[in-house]
Amino acid sequence: YNVSDMKIITVIGSGLIGRSWAMLFVSGGYNVKIYDNQPGQSTKAITEIKKQLVELEEAHMLRGELSAAQQLALLSSYDDLSQALDGAFFVQECVFEQLEVKQSIFHDMERFVGKDVILSSSTSCLVPSKVFSKVQNRSRCLVSHPVNPPYYVKLVELVPHPETAAAVMDTTHALMTKVGQAPVLLKKEIDGFALNRVQAAIIAESWRLVQDGVISVKDIDLVMSEGLGMRYAFIGPMETMHLNAPKGLEDYMSRYSENITRILSSFGPVPDFCGEAAKSVINVKFSVCDFQKVFQFWFKEHFSTLTREAV
């Protein structure tokens, strides 16, 4: 496929992630069909997308070269799966994060699409070999895992099924690049993919430090937001190490690997995230606010500001 020649993408599921994918794809000039098996939901999704596109345009943060009205004109809604899939070269699934639900929808999809249509899942942690186990032609299947919120956070993890064709990975990489995302290629599937594994390591040690009385909940957050996060927002851990020693990465490891190994050996077992010991952490952080409302507002405002300043 030449992604510049292909025109139609189908998004399966009209929730937050589905709407986000739809907005990204129309920003790249693609016709996007939104499907939801709940009657009327895909139509409601377009109404919500219209509101967001207008707000983004007014804030001068609309992605792509088309106006909000032009992007909106590229959207259509469906509650019939076969009609939604007609003509699509790429399908992005965004249904509930339940294995059986995803397996079922991909099994149903295969009846209505040609052999070259790429089938992509948004799953955040289910490995492709399980998600696509009921698909006959698995060479055109992969996971394209976005980071929430996808419109502001550009990373997309592309994870192959063991049978995925190289051309499918290349085409998807080109598509994600064209719509302004930052795709990374995993060479093989692994539980949690890359981002969640790195995130899990950070969560585990942060939790341990608080539970062991080393640091407060507030201050461990500052370690990231005012320390590591300031650095990692622009360069990754490998590049950071490379730049932190006069002669690069090899020099860094010759200087600090012994200390790193000693620290790692003291990490201990996976902490208890749900037992009695966890309650003190949870109560300190979230007892004073309506978490969901604060999170949604804070996340949107901070990420939009970061994105605007980065541009």
What's the rounded Cα separation, in Å, for the pair 231 and 251? 20
- Looking up tokens 């949107």 gives 300
Q: pLDDT (tens digit, 9 = 90+) per residue, 271-284?
A: 989 887 788 777 77
CB of 24 within 8 A of CB of 147? no
Q: Which residues contact residue 135 at a Cβ distance below 8 angstroms, ignoring those fewer than 6 apart? A: 106, 107, 110, 119, 141
Residues 27 and 173 in one domain: yes
Nearest CA among 42, 26, 126, 133 for reference residue 81: 42
pLDDT band at 288 (very low <50, low <70, confident <90, very high): very low
Tens digit of pLDDT for each residue in 194-250? Answer: 999 999 999 999 999 998 899 999 999 999 999 999 999 889 999 999 999 999 999
Q: Which pLDDT tens digit goes with each residue over 71-126?
A: 999 999 999 999 999 999 999 999 999 999 999 999 999 999 999 999 999 999 99
Q: How many separate domains does the chain show?
A: 2
Residue type, 11: V
Cis peptide before 149 (omega within 30 of 0): yes
pLDDT for position 272 = 87
Of 155, 185, 215, the position where a domain reaches its end is 185
Residue 286: φ, ψ to 5°: -120, 10
78 and 157 fall within a common domain: yes
pLDDT digits (tens, 9 = 90+) for 163-190: 999 999 999 999 999 999 999 999 999 9
Sign of CA dihedral 136, 137, 139, 142: negative
65, 83 contact by CB (below 8 A): no
CATH number at residue 93: 3.40.50.720
**Domain range spanning residue 65?**
8-185
Co-location of 118 and 178 in the same domain: yes
pTM: 0.90
CATH number of the domain where residue 238 is located: 1.10.1040.10
> pLDDT-derived band of residue 292, with 50, 70 and 90 as boundaries?
low
Task: Tell whether 157 and 218 lie within a shared domain.
Answer: no
If phi > 0 it is left, if psi is from -120 to 50 it is alpha, else beta; for residue 180 that is left
- pLDDT > 90 in the chain, percent: 83
